[in-house]
Chains A and B, each alone.
Chain A
Amino acid sequence: MSNTSENPNPSSSSAKITLKTSDNELFEVEEAVAMKFCTVKQYFEDEKDNDVAARGSSTVIPLPNVHSAVLARLISYCKKLPQSNAVADNHEEEETKKKERKQYGTPGDLVDLISAANYLDFKEGLEFFNQALADHIQNKSVEYVRKFFGIKGDFEPHEEEKYREEYAWAFEGVDED
């Protein structure tokens, strides 16, 4: 178990784990991939402790909070393993990373991916998709962000106006929604 987190190379571990999504789809994934999801790992280890004879081979791990479409995306992310943690050395690299983050679907899909990564306690993926969503909203208006996340503004109009005046330049160059 010690090297599964460092070595995601599937050939080193041929064991498979079956995950069952909220819409009752079954996914057979490499153990190394499944172990990236700490919630799955925890469940798997608990199962093993409870039932030594089963040895995991026939275990189906239910994921009632994850839809099959979302899980498929998460697994494909795990397999691609983008170098999301390295610092971009230059502007082009940063742009490449942004493009890479853009591939994982619409902003709505990203919200689903973030929810799922959070539920699965998948830190690396959570960080990646959080960044992807931040990329999406960074040039958006205050109104867009409120609507997108279902947030109700609670500033008095004059308070908000004061903030807008204080850093008026931060409200320039905002995307049209």
Chain B
Amino acid sequence: MWRWGRRSRRCRSNNLSLPEELLEEIVSWLPMKSMLRFRCVKKSWSTLFQNPNFIAKHLHHQTKTKNPSILLQSSDLIGGYGFSLHPYPDDNDDAVVGRIVDLSKDLGLVTMQQTKTINMFSCINGIICIGGSFRAPGGCFHSFILWNPAIRERKIISYPWLPGPPSHLVKPYNSKAFYAFGYDQYSNDYKVVRIVTYNKDSPPTQKSLFTDYYNIFQVFSLKAYSWAPVIDTTLHRSNISLLSPCYEVYFNGAHHWLGFFDNGHNKPTRGEM
């Protein structure tokens, strides 16, 4: 935590030097582009700009002074998706208020020409996560794109291999997929989650309650840069039925889905990331 300096012994003088703690406060108000440039000023600044506490403070200041809004705009007709982002970080011209960002131009990606190619769109702390099926010069792929427009970086993370339901769950069954992107404050990490649920078509009986359901949870950690399954038998076998990806809300750092325990009584419940 930042502590306010009190009663500094430094006398006012004609030179422009300020104590380091005050310099750090000043730079925490800078836009990202300036910070990327001022990494070069000195080593301690370069280190400071990577400090999680400083990043949190900078983010807080950015959202305090600016009110950026991002809008996902579907434009299937022209074969792409666009985003309106305000303010776009490289627009030096103050007159430019917002700008449409083109998925193909800015990210080098084209969505596939079919319905439901975008599975998810989420924006947290200025990082945009888009999940779906894309076409690129190399071919088609299903993946998440993590995009940080402020530093003009993007990472493409392929969906992990899906093991599928266990053999006792025979067809026909329903399958639904849920996606989420979030910031884990405990590990200071960004995570993407995929949940795939399987359930039998027929209403469950007391006997089949725990055999007719199967859930797979997979988590991608940006820090580890890898996917890992969540191993938890109660979750895998749980008869929680999540309604639809539409009934999802991100609040207080946790993703919530509306669902119910499928035992005849429809009781809303929630799943948290």
What residues of chain A have their CB less than 8 Å away from a CB belonging to chain B? 22, 38-39, 64-67, 70, 85, 87-91, 94-95, 97, 108, 111-112, 114-116, 118-119, 121, 123, 126, 130-131, 133-134, 137-139, 141-142, 145-146, 148-155, 160, 163-164, 167, 169-171, 173-174
Neighbouring A residues of B15 by C-beta, 8 Å: 150
Neighbouring A residues of B36 by C-beta, 8 Å: 167, 170
Residues 35-57 of chain B, each 1 if its beta carbon lies under 8 Å from chain A, else 0? 01111111100100000000000
Decide if B41 touches A130 in the complex (CB within 8 Å).
no
Decide if B37 touches A111 in the complex (CB within 8 Å).
no
Chain A's interface: helix, strand, loop or mixed, by majority? helix
Residues 1-41 of chain B, each 1 if its beta carbon lies under 8 Å from chain A, else 0? 00011111011100111110011011111110110111111
* Given known A91-B87, A133-B26, A153-B40, contact A126–B4 (CB-CB < 8 A): yes
Residue of B nearest to A138 (CB): B34
Neighbouring B residues of A38 by C-beta, 8 Å: 6
Decide if B40 touches A108 in the complex (CB within 8 Å).
no
> Distance in Å from the Cβ of B263 to the closest Cβ of chain A?
46
Interface 9-residue window, one of B90-98, B135-143, B234-242, B251-259: B90-98
Q: Number of contact residues on B: which range applies?
A: 35 or more
Interface 9-residue window, one of B61-69, B159-167, B188-196: B61-69
> Distance in Å from the Cβ of B68 to the closest Cβ of chain A?
11
Q: Can you list 14 residue pairs at the A/B interface with Cβ under 8 Å? A: A38-B6, A87-B63, A88-B67, A90-B97, A114-B22, A134-B27, A138-B34, A139-B34, A145-B38, A149-B16, A151-B41, A155-B43, A169-B152, A170-B33
B151 at the interface (CB under 8 A from A): yes
Residues 116-142 of chain B, each 1 if its beta carbon lies under 8 Å from chain A, else 0? 000000000000000000000000000
Neighbouring B residues of A133 by C-beta, 8 Å: 26
Complex: A90 Cα to B68 Cα, angstroms: 9
Neighbouring B residues of A67 by C-beta, 8 Å: 12
* Given known A95-B94, A149-B18, A163-B40, contact A112–B12 (CB-CB < 8 A): yes
Neighbouring A residues of B39 by C-beta, 8 Å: 163
* Given known A108-B16, A115-B18, A151-B41, contact A130–B34 (CB-CB < 8 A): no
Residue of B nearest to A162 (CB): B40
Complex: A134 Cα to B5 Cα, angstroms: 19
Specify which of B16, B42, B64, B151 is in contact with A167 (CB 8 Å cutoff): B151
Neighbouring A residues of B87 by C-beta, 8 Å: 91
Complex: A90 Cα to B94 Cα, angstroms: 12
Neighbouring B residues of A154 by C-beta, 8 Å: 42-43
Complex: A66 Cα to B7 Cα, angstroms: 11
> Distance in Å from the Cβ of A76 to the closest Cβ of chain B?
18
